[in-house]
């Protein structure tokens, strides 16, 4: 695999893990079923990608952190047992044949 393909695959895997992380939170906090949670997480990720290039929707801090000005673009924060969330995340990764990241 050449370097560009490897980087592209790493990006896609990282993107998918972020989506599955958010989906695991939606499953536990919002009691969504798996397909609805993944769909919501995919929509959030797409909106975040679009907002990253729009100065009306996001800005970059001095530390290089992207801040979304629209609160609906912020990733959900889990307010529960992190081990439980990680277990759901691992199951989602397993279903998609991805290795989970901590």
Examine residue 46 and state whether it is found in any structural domain, yes or no: yes
Examine residue 1 and state whether it is found in any structural domain, yes or no: no
Long-range contacts: 78-83, Cβ < 8 Å, 24+? 78/24, 78/25, 78/28, 78/29, 79/29, 80/28, 80/29
Average pLDDT over residues 72-77: 91
By the 10 Å C-beta count (0-12 exposed, 13-18 middle, 19+ buried), 95 is classed as: exposed
Examine residue 38 and state whether it is found in any structural domain, yes or no: yes
Examine residue 27 and state whether it is found in any structural domain, yes or no: yes
Examine residue 89 and state whether it is found in any structural domain, yes or no: yes
pLDDT in tens, 15-53: 999 999 999 999 999 999 999 999 999 999 999 999 998
The total of structural domains in the chain comes to 1
Domain holding 19, by residue range, is 13-95
Examine residue 83 and state whether it is found in any structural domain, yes or no: yes
Examine residue 41 and state whether it is found in any structural domain, yes or no: yes
Q: pTM, whole model, 2 decimals?
A: 0.85
Examine residue 21 and state whether it is found in any structural domain, yes or no: yes
């Amino acid at each position: 695999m050449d370097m560009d393909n490897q980087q592209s695959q790493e990006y896609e895997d990282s993107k998918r893990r972020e989506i599955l992380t958010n989906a695991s939170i939606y499953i536990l906090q919002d009691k969504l079923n798996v397909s609805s949670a993944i769909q919501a997480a995919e929509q959030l990720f797409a909106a975040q990608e679009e907002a990253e290039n729009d100065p009306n929707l996001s800005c970059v801090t001095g530390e290089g952190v992207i801040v979304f000005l629209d609160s609906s673009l912020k990733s959900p924060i889990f307010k529960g047992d992190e081990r439980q969330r990680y277990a759901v995340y691992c199951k989602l990764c397993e279903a998609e044949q991805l290795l989970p990241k901590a």
